[in-house]
Amino acid sequence: MRKCGTLLALTAAFAGTATAQAPSSLRIGFGDAVRVATGQAPAVTLSELAGDEARARVRQARSGLLPSVTAGAAWVNRDFNIKSFGIPLNFPGLATVVPAFNNYDTRLTLNQTLFDFSTIQRLHASQAQVVSTLAAGDATTEGAAQAAALAYLRAARAEASVAAREADSSIAAEVLSLALAQLQAGVSGTLDVTRAKTQVAVAAGALVVARNQFALARIALARTLGVDPATDITLTDTLTSSLGVAGVPTDRDSAVAQALASRPELKAEEARADAAQVSRSAIRAELLPRVGLEADYGVNGQTEPLALGTRQIAVAVTIPLLDGFRREGREAEQDAVIEESAVREKDLRQEIAADVSTAILDLHSAEAQEGIAAEQLALAADELSQAEQRFKAGVAGNIEVIDAQASMVEARDAVIAARYGAATARVALARAAGAARTLH
């Protein structure tokens, strides 16, 4: 079902006809990018394979409790000296060397563990390892969602910067046209024209840099999505104040509570501790008796037609007494693993609380900066309008217009930075709460 969901997400995200190798173009939104990354990013695929490996180890551990059946057939041709067996027969005329003879043996053997508590505990330990591996895979998926979200935001920021630099270029071109008109009318001098041309060149250079940064950001986004870096990606979401929303409360206590209940890293650590404890129990259980059943049936004889059926049934009890204190060493190792896990779990809980607190502080700060940046942009637009009017009226040179243009550039960048900061803070909060996959 997960693979089907990934394919549906890809189908919804891709526009145009896909080639046999890779799509040539891709239209994708913020939420689609997160879903695609959580389904097909290489790290996610590798974590799914690690889960398959862990489940395979469970089957291996379970095999110790299931029947083992083997079949074999043998043909032997041999002779032997009866004296080599310590048989002191010295009768006159009795040959001490038995002539060569054939022996045929075909046999079916069954081995079944009747009771082995240590094997049962090892099976439980491997099942706990599956839980740990799957939780670690969820953490990888959360990381892939965060990486895709941040890559999309960087691309959206770069796209917004391109739009801002294009607007700057338009204003610079308008000011140059106005300066040329003022020069022809004899209202202003050539210095104003030179200044205006300089601003056009500066704006053009900034636009080239912004477009290059946008192209680089799209390549980085393609990598996080696991698609061909040459794919022409079109963003369907822009850098707005609502981008990067997830179902996470902004109240610290509520967010921390959700994070402690949802963070897959914490679940993985708890599962590792459980697996270590069960492994220690399995080691201790090795001191208990093991009861096994062995049975075989076959045909045996000097010739195939004369072969007779033979069988054997045995119940064996094995009690380990001493293994050179290796068992005690393995138990001490598991004790250390359990203590290490407890330390990591405590530190992880503190780290989760710190991550949530940091993200909430960054979010509140960025939201406040958004309001300030919006006001700064409005004031810069008003300043630019007044400077242009004064320049048109001939009461001031275009130096005021150029200063207002610089303020406008700074204000646009401030708005972009504030929106990007708020969006990244929302992504960080979602990741801290274990809800990065719900970003939209």
Average pLDDT over residues 4-19: 43
| pLDDT digit string, tens, across residues 336-360 | 999 999 999 999 999 999 999 999 9
Tell me, what's the pLDDT at 322?
A: 86
User: Domain containing 116 — which CATH number?
Assistant: 1.20.1600.10
Hey, what are 101's tokens? 């003879």
Lowest mean pLDDT among 57-61, 337-341, 388-392, 420-424: 388-392
Tell me, what's the pLDDT at 17?
A: 38
Tell me, what's the pLDDT at 418?
A: 94
Angle at which helices 190-225 and 117-184 cross, to 10°: 160
290-301 and 308-318: which strand pairing? antiparallel
Distance CA 432, CA 64 (A): 41
Q: Which candidate, 43, 9, 47, places its Cα nearest to that of 28?
A: 9
Structural domains counted in the chain? 1
| Per-residue pLDDT band at 20 (split at 50, 70, 90) | very low
Percent of the chain with pLDDT strictly greater than 90:
55
Torsion (CA) 277, 283, 289, 292 in degrees, nearest 10: 90
Separate counts of helices (H) and strands (E) for the chain: 9, 6
For 186, other C-beta atoms within 10 Å of its C-beta total: 8
The domain containing residue 274 runs over which residues? Answer: 2-15+24-438
| pLDDT digit string, tens, across residues 56-80 | 999 999 999 999 999 999 988 888 7
Tell me, what's the pLDDT at 102?
A: 85
pTM: 0.80
Helix (H) or strand (E) segment spanning residue 75: strand 68-81
Which amino acid, one-letter code, is at 430?
A
| Per-residue pLDDT band at 92 (split at 50, 70, 90) | low
Beta strands (DSSP E) in 82-176 are 97-115
